[in-house]
Amino acid sequence: MSGPAKVHPLHGNQMHAVAPEETVWLSASAGTGKTQVLSSRVLRLLLQPRVEPSQILCLTFTKAGATEMAARINGTLAEWVRLPDPALFQRLEAIGAPSDDETRARARTLFAAVLDCPGGGLRIDTIHAFAQWLLGAFPHEAGLVPGTRPMEDRDRVLLARQVLAELLTAAEREPLGDPQMLAAVADLSLRMGPEDVEAYLLRCAEAREAWFGAGAWQEPMRPRINQVLGLPADADADFLAAICADDAFDVRALRRCLDVNREWKAKTGQENAAKIEAWLAGVPEQRAAGLDALFGVFFTKEGKLRATTSLDKLDPGYAGYVADVGECISAARAMASLLALADRLVPALRLGRAFALAWDEAKKREGLIDFDDQIRQAASLLATSDLAEWIRYKLDRRFDHILVDEAQDTNAAQWRIIDALTGDFFAGLGQHDEKLRTLFVVGDYKQAIFRFQGTSPENFEQARQRVKQAMRGAVDAAQDMRLAEHERPRPLREYGLDRSFRTAQPVLDFVDAALEGIGHEEIGLREAPEVHQGEARPGYVALWRPVGLVTEDDPFAPEEEEPVEENWFSRADRKLAEQIAQQVRRWMHHGFPLVKGGARRAGPGDVMILVRRRRELAGLIVARLHAAGVPVAGVDRLRLGAPLAVRDLVAALRFAAQPFDDLNLASLLVSPLLGWTQEDLLAHGYRDKGVRLWSHLRQIGHPVVDTLNELLRLADYDPPQALLHWLLVGPWQGRRKLIARLGREANDPIDELLNAASAYTASATPSLVGFLAWFDAGEGELKREASGAGDLVRVMTVHGSKGLQAPIVILADAAGNPASRGGRLDLPDLHAPERKIPLPGLRKEDRVGRIAEHHAAIEREEMQEHWRLLYVAMTRAEEALFIGSALSAREKVPAENSWYAKLALLFGPEDEVADPLWTARFEWGALGELPPAAPGTRSVELPLPEPLPVWLERGAPAEPRPPKPLAPSALGEDQSPDPPWPPGAGSEAARRGVLVHKLLERLPEVPEAARGEAGARWLARNAEELDPAQRDDLLAAALAVLAHPDWRALFVPEGLAEVPIAAVVGGQVVSGKIDRLLIEPTRVRLVDFKTARRPPLDASEVPVATLRQMAAYAAALEVAYPGRAVEAALLYTAAPRLIVLPADVLAEHKRVLLAAE
């Protein structure tokens, strides 16, 4: 959060717009202090005696805008708390608020009041966040199931594929399958490609109005499709044939053309005559099929009527006949195209409808809700649901003042939410007549640039008319009621802001000249915009000569160039990126004058580089800046799978999942993670045909195999997040290597990849293959907040720069062709224009009739937004604007409707000057004087990382004591193994020892009087292979041990079995498990069972390793029970035999144990 924002005095319309009692519609040009006006409006409202913070709702377009507004308001309120009275007086006067004692006292309480209001502050939200809050506040009324969560991009892709797979599976199922649906998917895939088919089906899912509610599309669809295309509902092939019949087609004119061509003795004339005659001889159905042949007689391949000069000599009226026939042919062919398109649309829309219905069910099943659902359901909740009136009543008691920012980027569905919230504001006096209720809307038609997100500037104008009409109606009603002046509602106040506090006047003069040259109609404005008023300071605009523009005397004409790694970029793009980087580097080294805020030299953070679209050029510019030593923040937004650091790490994961993918393994080997060069790959990767690279590397025993084997070993057990962490900070040191090769900007995508792995782990059962499939399914974006880039060059799209500015702005790709991307077209239903019918990708020949009209309208809207985008780009500059471009190999000059071509018209030959880097440039305005460099300053260079501390390169020291616990059973093995058993005796003795051990474990829990009977029953069940005499011997031996006069106390129920123990003995942790333990007030007694095949006869024959183990147990017990004597014994179950260990023997081995420490 930024610090407290200084409130600059408001002027003119700014001051009028913040009047808290007025409903205002504000049109604010770029840089005119819109955010300041919004913030001041909120402050003025808060200062009103009867306005509480919870009554104010601010809606904006972006999270960044909401955050900035909240920071400004909260910072100002926090500042008011501690300001002296004179300073607070000035602050209130600056925003037009009263400055009396009562108002100043209220101002000092507002910060606490805002913090105490529900939610912990003012409600300043994006429209989506508000819709989400509204649905959360009324989940039952909205029909949401418990656990519903917003849908992420990956959820969307994975769910779409799942729904399509389920549809296809059902369509294949016999006997109730749907072969027509399978055929529709196959046809669309051939025409569009799988990804475009998926996108089209999602468009169908978004067009809910087409499939749900009253008037929704259902079978049969052909009549409605015909109507949408502008055809009669019953149009079919017979309808086309009827158009070609004698009574509908101008056969008289066609027969006259036949006669004239016959008179023309040239070969072409005779061929044409034969084609016309054949067409006329056919029945209507045959004529419909032969339209293309007839078309070739009168039209060129480009669709223009052929010249008739030679035939006009034979009949002066021939051109008229041709025109009449041409109209008939064109109409018939258009009808044929539309009928063919209708044939294709029937299965496509049937598929789209089935997908939309299944998609809706799948979202409910999975508890998901997407952004469109949030807006739609929130609007329905407020406007059309059964409980809408009650919900609006509840909200009316909360929100009395609504402010809407960036209103030009609010779509129709979002406006329905705003209309529902404010509808009662202007519906007469109502129950709130004693309260102040206002609406404040700010936007700028010239800055409407998000059409691709469904917004339309027309919505902005239509909403203004609705509010204006509603308020006029309220005013008229008040007059009819003869209310007193103070009781009458106020009319809508409309103001404009054209005074820019951001941009220098020379730059704004250039912007005004550009708008005049483009024409206000081409931007979508009904009237020419007001001339901008800017800051009276130096401003400069330069148009660089396009890279790739070649003239005969061009010293920079392209030559044969050396092969480069980035050969997927055009030569012109590579050169453009290189020259931009060198230009910025020169500014940093030689100085570039800036005057705003005081004369100074430009730094890296003063430069913003804009591109029209998010493509590879932005990344290439970042790379060139980095190579030139210019500090750069990287592109503002990129796909998570695009950065090289992410690709290298994912390649390592792919290898762990599938080591025999040769291409992936080769990519991993030459990545910074393993550091091979291309020469290394050729030297060690060359192998026989059919041999996998991984098999080859293992066969030749290359050292890299051990490194990769460790990765494979971990991949069998570790989840993806842990595996990535090991790759980054483990033995591979991936983060350090990637940053050393790719620069510090690699940190962000690496961290985002870790976040993605964490998100996957939280949403699914983690597996490596599952994570890779999940990762590949989405196009997650990494967004860098450019407003906090620090002193670094920013590279971003024009859309991403909205709301930002910089002293120096470079338009990098101004020569880009604005031609329509086409293909996507939604036709309005004739019965309900708000219902849009999505059409799949259309070919050029499909654009006829109603489709041609709508396609032309879309192209016109896209061109208008193209010019509005230029306005936004130019007005980001505060003091200097530079325009550059690159031409492809096919282009001789910039495209006619490109930004570059239009802006170049503003310069004359006298404006051209030589430029050592760009050959030439055209200039507008002038720069200020370059101030001298500050003493001791140096040229800006890319900051190198600080040297790593020495400890980071060394292994971590051993952990302090206590070390790893010592198990007494692991103190050593007896060097003399047991002697072998006589033949056949080993298994019997082993079996005997096991049975005795089991008896000694179980019988102590049985009362002494019942042990004999219990032991006999147990042996009868578990030792059936022994005869009764053998079982009796085993039982007697076990009972004899339990009855030993000195140790029988251990084998009573009060004794403990299998007792774990841990204690620190001489600085060493001893940890183990004691078979039998008895704790008495003065002593502790333990017995450890042994299964040696040849038990010793007495303590002197006990192996040393066993004595050490018992000494360790005794030492641990002495620590656990200080002051008590410890007695130990061994029970050898093979005999069985109980051997008591003397205290001096234990003490001797305890001393050996401590000495070893």
pLDDT bucket at 984, cuts 50 / 70 / 90: very low
Residue 330 lies in a domain: yes
Question: Residues near 91 by Cβ (< 8 Å), separated by ≥ 6?
Answer: 7, 76, 79, 80, 83
pLDDT for residue 915? 93
Question: Residues near 446 by Cβ (< 8 Å), separated by ≥ 6?
Answer: 29, 30, 523, 525, 529, 868, 871, 872
Residue 823 reports pLDDT greater than 60: no
From the list 380, 362, 442, the residue with the least C-alpha distance to 405 is: 442
> Residues 822, 740: one domain?
no
Residue 536 lies in a domain: no
Helix (H) or strand (E) holding 914: strand 912-915
Average pLDDT over residues 16-39: 91
From the list 442, 440, 473, the residue with the least C-alpha distance to 460 is: 442
pLDDT for residue 2? 44
> Residues 621, 649: one domain?
no
Residue at which a domain ends, from 366, 395, 411: 366
User: How far apart are the C-alpha atoms of 1085 and 729, rounded to whole Å?
Assistant: 50
CATH number of the domain at 729, please: 1.10.486.10
Residue 559 reports pLDDT greater than 50: no
Check: CB of residue 306 under 8 Å from CB of residue 275: no
Cα dihedral 317, 323, 329, 332 in deg (nearest 10): -120
pLDDT 10s digits, 627-649: 898 998 866 666 777 788 999 99
Residue 939 lies in a domain: no
Residue at which a domain ends, from 899, 926, 953: 926
Residue 107 lies in a domain: yes
pLDDT for residue 1066? 76
Residue 522 reports pLDDT greater than 50: yes
CATH number of the domain at 830, please: 3.40.50.300
Comparing 955 with 440, the larger pLDDT belongs to: 440
Residue 950 lies in a domain: no
Q: Which domain holds residue 196?
A: 149-366
Average pLDDT over residues 587-604: 92
Comparing 745 with 1, the larger pLDDT belongs to: 745
pLDDT for residue 786? 56
Query: What single-letter amino acid sits at 595?
Result: V
Rg (CA), the chain: 43
> Residues 162, 109: one domain?
no
pLDDT bucket at 822, cuts 50 / 70 / 90: low
pLDDT 10s digits, 253-298: 999 999 999 888 889 889 999 999 999 999 999 999 999 999 999 9
Comparing 137 with 435, the larger pLDDT belongs to: 137
> Residues 262, 351: one domain?
yes
> Residues 291, 273: one domain?
yes
508 phi, psi to nearest 5 deg = -70, -35
Check: CB of residue 18 under 8 Å from CB of residue 40: yes
1072 phi, psi to nearest 5 deg = -170, -165
Residue 513 lies in a domain: no
| Tokens of residue 43, six digits | 């402050």
pLDDT bucket at 1043, cuts 50 / 70 / 90: confident
User: How far apart are the C-alpha atoms of 47 and 95, rounded to whole Å?
Assistant: 11
User: How far apart are the C-alpha atoms of 650 and 773, rounded to whole Å?
Assistant: 11
Q: Which of 161-175, 676-690, 960-974 has the lowest mean pLDDT?
A: 960-974
pLDDT 10s digits, 160-193: 989 999 999 998 886 777 888 899 999 998 888 8
Residue 1039 lies in a domain: yes
> Residues 107, 242: one domain?
no
| Tokens of residue 868, six digits | 């509005």
> Residues 892, 913: one domain?
yes
DSSP 967: P
Residue 969 reports pLDDT greater than 70: no
Counting the structural domains of the chain, the total is 5
From the list 601, 570, 571, the residue with the least C-alpha distance to 587 is: 601
What pTM value is reported for the model?
0.74
User: How far apart are the C-alpha atoms of 299 and 844, rounded to whole Å?
Assistant: 17
Question: Residues near 276 by Cβ (< 8 Å), separated by ≥ 6?
Answer: 254, 257, 258, 261, 294, 297
Long-range contacts of 268-275 (CB under 8 A, 24+ apart): 269/311, 272/297
Residue 506 reports pLDDT greater than 90: yes
Residue 957 lies in a domain: no
User: How far apart are the C-alpha atoms of 799 and 786, rounded to whole Å?
Assistant: 12
65 phi, psi to nearest 5 deg = -65, -40
pLDDT for residue 428? 53
> Residues 89, 181: one domain?
no
Q: Cis omega (within 30 of 0) on the bond before 220?
A: yes
| Tokens of residue 763, six digits | 């949403």
Average pLDDT over residues 464-492: 77
User: How far apart are the C-alpha atoms of 48 and 712, rounded to whole Å?
Assistant: 68
pLDDT for residue 1? 40
pLDDT for residue 974? 47
> Residues 442, 391: one domain?
yes
Helical segments of 264-411, H only: 267-281, 284-289, 291-298, 309-312, 318-366, 371-383, 388-396
Query: How many residues does the structure list for the chain?
Result: 1157
- Residue 97 pairs with which residues in a beta bridge? none
Mean pLDDT (the chain, rounded): 84
User: How far apart are the C-alpha atoms of 536 and 134, rounded to whole Å?
Assistant: 47
> Residues 1033, 975: one domain?
yes
pLDDT for residue 761? 86
Residue 497 reports pLDDT greater than 80: yes
Q: Percent of the chain at pLDDT above 70?
A: 88
Q: Which of 194-203, 526-535, 560-569, 715-724 has the lowest mean pLDDT?
A: 560-569
| Tokens of residue 981, six digits | 């058993």
pLDDT for residue 1093? 67
> Residues 276, 332: one domain?
yes
pLDDT for residue 921? 94
Q: Map residue 552 onto helix, strand or coil.
A: coil
CATH number of the domain at 1066, please: 3.90.320
Query: Beta strands 607-611 and 877-883: pairing type?
Result: unpaired
pLDDT bucket at 742, cuts 50 / 70 / 90: confident
1057 phi, psi to nearest 5 deg = -115, 145
Average pLDDT over residues 664-675: 93
pLDDT bucket at 935, cuts 50 / 70 / 90: low
Query: What single-letter amino acid sits at 545?
Result: R
pLDDT bucket at 936, cuts 50 / 70 / 90: low
Residue 1134 reports pLDDT greater than 80: no
pLDDT 10s digits, 89-113: 999 999 999 989 999 999 999 999 9
Maximum mean pLDDT: which of 6-20, 450-464, 662-676: 662-676
Comparing 360 with 565, the larger pLDDT belongs to: 360
- Burial of residue 1090 (CB within 10 Å: 0-12, 13-18, 19+) is buried
pLDDT for residue 979? 46
**Which residue bears the tokens 């089991």?**
998
Residue at which a domain ends, from 746, 781, 816: 781
> Residues 768, 811: one domain?
no
